[in-house]
Structure formats: C-alpha cells, structure tokens
C-alpha cells in the first residue's frame, strides 16, 4: 500500500471518528461513499467495511459518553438487542440485493433523515 493511500485512509478515519463522536453518526455517511469512490470498493464490501470500522469508533465514543453519564444503560441494552436482530436481517438482505437498489435505499434514507431533522 502506498503512503498516499495510507494518508487517505487515516484522513477518512479521523473525519468519520470526529462525526461519530460529535453527532453519534457519520460512520456510514462518510465511510460507505469513501470506500466506494475513493478506495474503489463494491457497494456491498463498502457497507461491510463500514460496519467493521464503526465498532472501535463507537466504543471510544461510548467511553466518554458514559464518563459524562449520558448513557441510559437499560434503554441502550434493549435497543441494542433490537439492533442485533435488525443487523442480522439487514446483512442477509444486503447479500441478496442489487447494488443499485442499495444505493437508492441509502439515498432515500438520507432524504428521510434530512427532512426529519429539518422538522425538529
């Protein structure tokens, strides 16, 4: 791997970690397009790599959020159980879907999220 590529990967990681820590999101929003357009990965591989990369960022953010006593552990554990179930279902669906449909669903989700945030 070239030094230029390593620098790109580190910059994408820092940006993603910053957004993940600041907004409790950003992983998929930054990593998936980065893996597809900068690192030339397939849509499915980009999504899988995004999930893999998000774990350490989430753990680091969790440490500081917990230290500041922002965590409702009961609510988080219950939601996490649902997230595990949804993650299994979503990962299995992704394997069967065409990349174009994944992109359209992702765009639809981003539009929905943006509209929801604007209504707040």
Same domain, 35 and 54: yes
Structural domains counted in the chain: 2
- Look-up of token digits 């604007």: 118
Same domain, 41 and 7: yes
Q: What is the pLDDT of the chain when averaged over all its residues?
A: 88
CA distances from 9 to 14, 101, 115 (A): 9, 27, 31
Last residue of one domain, picked from the residues 34, 53, 71: 71
The range of the structural domain enclosing residue 101 comes to: 72-120
pLDDT in tens, 72-103: 999 999 999 998 999 899 999 999 999 899 88
Same domain, 78 and 92: yes
Quick one: pLDDT at residue 26? 64
Same domain, 37 and 9: yes
Pair of tokens at residue 71:
């965590």
Residue 24 pLDDT greater than 80, yes or no: no
Pair of tokens at residue 109:
């989700």
Quick one: pLDDT at residue 77? 93
Same domain, 54 and 76: no
Same domain, 10 and 20: yes
Same domain, 55 and 94: no
- CA-to-CA distance for 113 and 120, rounded, in angstroms? 11
Last residue of one domain, picked from the residues 53, 71, 89: 71
User: pLDDT band at residue 45, thresholds of 50, 70 and 90?
Assistant: very high
- CA-to-CA distance for 44 and 34, rounded, in angstroms? 13
Q: Are 35 and 50 in contact (CB under 8 A)?
A: yes
Residue 30 pLDDT greater than 70, yes or no: yes
Same domain, 49 and 99: no
């Amino acid at each position: 791997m070239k030094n230029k590529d390593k620098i790109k990967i580190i910059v994408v990681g820092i940006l993603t970690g910053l957004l993940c820590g600041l907004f409790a999101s950003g992983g998929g929003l930054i990593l998936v397009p980065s893996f597809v357009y900068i690192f030339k990965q397939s849509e499915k591989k980009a999504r899988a790599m995004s999930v893999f990369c998000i774990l350490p960022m989430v753990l680091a953010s969790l440490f500081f959020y917990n230290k500041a006593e922002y965590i409702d552990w009961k609510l988080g554990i219950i939601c996490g159980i649902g997230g595990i179930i949804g993650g299994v279902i979503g990962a299995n669906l992704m394997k069967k879907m065409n990349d174009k449909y994944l992109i359209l669903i992702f765009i639809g989700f981003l539009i929905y999220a943006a509209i929801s945030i604007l209504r707040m």
